[in-house]
Amino acid sequence: MSYDVSQVRRDFPALAVEAAERPLAYLDNAATTQKPLAVLEAVERYNRTSHANPHRGVYALAVAATQAYERARERVARFINAPSPREVIFTRNATEALNLVAFSYGLNNLKIGDEIVLCISEHHSNLIPWQQVARLTGASLRYLYLDKEYRLPWEEVRSKITKRAKITAIAHTSNVLGTVYPVAEIAAWAHSQGSVVVVDAAQSVPHMPLDVQDLGADFLAFSGHKIYGPTGIGVLYGRRELLERMAPYQYGGEMIEYVDEESATFAELPHKFEAGTPNVEGAVGLAAALDYVERLGLGEIRRHEQELTAYALEELARIPWVTVYGPQNLEGRGPVISFGIDGCHPHDVATILDCCGVAVRAGHHCAQPLMHFLQIPASSRASFALYNTPAEVDALIRSLFEVRKWLGYGS
Distance CA 106, CA 116 (A): 9
Confidence grade of residue 227 (pLDDT, cut at 50, 70, 90):
very high
Return the SS3 of 256.
Answer: strand
Collect all residues with Cβ–Cβ distance below 8 Å to 148 and sequence separation of at least 6. Answer: none
User: What values do phi and psi take at 244, rounded to 5?
Assistant: -60, -35
In a 13 Å sphere around the CA of 68, the CA atoms on its Cβ side amount to 27
pLDDT (tens digit, 9 = 90+) per residue, 24-43?
999 999 999 999 999 999 99
Domains of the chain, start order: 5-28+297-406 (3.90.1150.10), 50-294 (3.40.640.10)
Q: Is-cis flag, bond preceding 327, omega within 30? A: no
Any idea what the Cα angle at residue 323 is, between residues 321 and 327, rounded to 5°? 150
Distance CA 14, CA 31 (A): 15
Residues designated as active site: 366
pLDDT (tens digit, 9 = 90+) per residue, 379-388?
999 999 999 9
Distance CA 300, CA 289 (A): 16
Percentage of the chain lying above the pLDDT 90 cut: 94
Identify whether the C-beta of residue 358 lies closer than 8 Å to the C-beta of residue 388. no
pLDDT (tens digit, 9 = 90+) per residue, 190-212?
999 999 999 999 999 999 999 99
